[in-house]
Amino acid sequence: MNARSTRNASPCVSDEFLEFTASVRYDRRLWRHDIAGSIAHVQGLEEAGVLTKKEKDRIISALKNLAKDIRNGKVSFDPRLEDIHMNIEHLLTERIGEAGAKLHTGRSRNDQVALDTRLMVREALVAVLSEVLSLQRALVLKAVENKGTIMPGYTHMQHAQPVLLAHHFMAHFWRLGRDCDRIIDCYQRMNVSPLGSGALAGTSFGIDRTIASRLLMMDGTTENSLDAVSDRDFVAESAFALSMLMIHLSSLCEELVLWSSQEFAFVRLPKRLASGSSMMPQKLNPDIPELIRGKTGRTVGHLVAILTVLKSLPLAYNRDLQEDKENLFDVFDTVGASLHALTAFLGEMEIDPVRMRESAEAGLMTATDLADFLTTRGIPFRKAHGIVREIAIEADGDMDEFLKLAEERLPKAVKGLKSKELAFLRPERSISRRECSGGTGSRAVGNQLKMAEKRLNSTKKIIQRLTTQVEAVNALLDN
């Protein structure tokens, strides 16, 4: 069978047309998912009486051999066959003749592509989840290693209140936890089979759609054939969940860039994971955080591109939907690489606890504690705030002067106040007073770490369960 007879294109289409419309250069990465989907489809065809058992066995054997040859680099894909789906069908038919031409019975490229994309996306989501879990473990490890390290907390990038570094790392941990939740939710909505929807109206061959769904370890079948072949919600949702994840990574990376500067000097860059300057021999640059920060914009751009492709498309399938894959594939590649690199960076990054503590002692960061203290002595908070603000302005950022002025003036506002009661204005005392749930006190942070361990174990079990489903693709190819 020649190339043109396997396409649905006109036999007189030009090479220029084929070059513009072909997608095999990027959708070739779906070959495993396409072959697994075809094996599952063939099982349904035999059950429906469309294929004999002998034909089914011959097709499945040939598909598995083809998968083996592709894996070993023995197969070349022809761009004139437009996409990976037509390439595989053509290669199969070349090998086993007419039996191979029966593979596409009761199936359209519309539901075939929808299935393959879902299978690929669920696999990629699980891979991202595993990388997020590794990064979360790295954050927990850094938090445990630096339980007693005090640092300045910021609002508006100005010194605000002292916090534990462990508390700061755990803030990033919980952000990533929400990212995991979004990814898992997306997976669960997406893991249903559209196969059997045909081009748009379903199939007339009486195929039991649950057969393919079970073989591929999907959680059911789509409810409506029109919706099934045109639905790319899961593509947009995946791109959003991963874009949100990258925004969280970018926030952490921005801090790491600042913290590694001479002005902050909170951390020392890992020499193996940083570059020097081509001109300035003394320089060491935070390449990994900077690149991740930059790649975040690229990921968000892909999300916008996907949403724009989907905007205003009428039911059912439209060729526009072909344009989702390059964006989606790059999102997964970018996010996976970024997570892996950042986890390695955090693991080798050195923290300077002395410098962090020195910075936490600057900028009158316990002024809020003083206002809170006055409130406990019966002074309304707004009035207490005003009293402390006047002292802070006069102290002009000098902590010793702030304490001196407080000792001089507060006894006039609070009868019986003794200067030793102001000892809580030191950073460690300020932190120890914030043991509320989710606070920066050492016990509260310790509780967070316990909760984090439970969360990590829970996520690990979910990943193991989802991995079992994802592995159904390889199981169909190898068994």
Residue in the block written with tokens 């997976």? 187
Q: Which residue has the tokens 């030793």?
A: 420
Q: Is 156 a catalytic residue?
A: yes
Task: Tell me how far apart the alpha carbons of residues 253 and 339 are, in angstroms, rounded to a whole number.
Answer: 11
Residue 146 φ/ψ, nearest 5 degrees: -125, 40
Angle at which helices 442-470 and 165-190 cross, to 10°: 30
Candidates 209, 151, 163, 93; CA nearest to 354 is 151
The DSSP line for 165-232 is HHHHHHHHHHHHHHHHHHHHHHHHHH-SB-TT-TTTT--SS---HHHHHHHTT-S-B-S-HHHHHH--
Write the DSSP symbol of residue 236.
Answer: H
Those residues whose C-beta lies under 8 Å from the C-beta of residue 146, and which sit 6 or more positions away, are 164, 165, 166, 169, 351, 353
Catalytic residue among 5, 61, 261, 277: 277
- The amino acid occupying position 455 is R
Q: Are 93 and 1 in contact (CB under 8 A)?
A: yes
Q: How many CB atoms are closer than 10 A to CB 162?
A: 26
Residue 385 known to be catalytic: no
Q: Give the integer Cα–Cα distance in Å for 222 and 237.
A: 17
Catalytic residue (choose from 14, 76, 156, 204): 156
118 CB neighbour count, 10 Å cutoff: 24
**DSSP classification of residue 223:** S
Q: Give the residue numbers annotated as catalytic, written as ranges.
A: 156, 277
